[in-house]
Amino acid sequence: KVLVLTTFDLDEYVYEALRAGASGFLLKDASAAELAQAVRVVAAGDALLAPNITKRLIAEFSRMTAPPRAPLKDRVGDLTERETEVLSLIAQGLSNAEIAVSLVVAEQTVKTHVGRILVKLGLRDRTQVAVFAYESGLVRPAGY
């Protein structure tokens, strides 16, 4: 287990250390108590980054992951209104039988819609459909 302690507050050093397998990254201005706690955290198998590094890393990650949302939304536009409804219900955890009851259609019709959703979105299974629904913003977690 590796904990990096450095005077250099440079993002590229953090990224390289993490790529190389470091579990922690602290700056030299950390207090003795913070350093001791970091050693315990890393030794226990967890990870730790200095708070200001964590903040920058989150900002960078958010910036990197933001652009794919637009293409996901474009892909939702390829679906019919009914396929979009089925997609939303899959993401809510409903089975084909439950979706059929909800939409007042035959279960075979739901299976047809699911198949078309998989093909149109280039997905392999219902789990990927559910993830896609949340990532595209079509469905939002409860309470948001």
Domain count, the chain: 2
Give the CA distances from residue 16 to residues 4, 20, 39, 47, 107, in Å, rounded to whole numbers and listed in that order.
11, 6, 20, 15, 52
User: Helix-strand-coil percent breakdown of the chain, rounded to 5?
Assistant: 60, 5, 30
Q: Are residues 57 and 73 in the same domain?
A: no
Q: Which of 13, 44, 65 is the last residue of a domain?
A: 65
The residues pairing with 15 across neighbouring beta strands, listed in sequence order, are none
What's 47's domain CATH number? 3.40.50.2300
- Strand, coil or helix: what is 50? coil
CA geometry: angle 49, 53, 59, nearest 5 deg: 120
Q: Are residues 105 and 119 in the same domain?
A: yes
Residue 119 in any domain: the answer is yes
Show the tokens assigned to 66: 């933001």
Q: Which of 49, 65, 81 is the last residue of a domain?
A: 65
Confidence at residue 64, expressed as pLDDT on a 0 to 100 scale: 62
- Side-chain-facing half-sphere of 48: CA atoms under 13 Å: 22
Output the DSSP codes for 8-22.
---HHHHHHHHHTT-
Residue 85 in any domain: the answer is yes
Confidence at residue 70, expressed as pLDDT on a 0 to 100 scale: 42
Which stretches of the chain drop beneath a pLDDT of 70?
Answer: 61-75, 142-144
Confidence at residue 124, expressed as pLDDT on a 0 to 100 scale: 85
Confidence at residue 117, expressed as pLDDT on a 0 to 100 scale: 93
Confidence at residue 131, expressed as pLDDT on a 0 to 100 scale: 86
CA geometry: angle 79, 81, 83, nearest 5 deg: 55
Q: Which domain holds residue 103?
A: 69-135
Show the tokens assigned to 11: 């993002």
- Side-chain-facing half-sphere of 36: CA atoms under 13 Å: 3
Q: Are residues 112 and 83 in the same domain?
A: yes
Confidence at residue 62, expressed as pLDDT on a 0 to 100 scale: 62
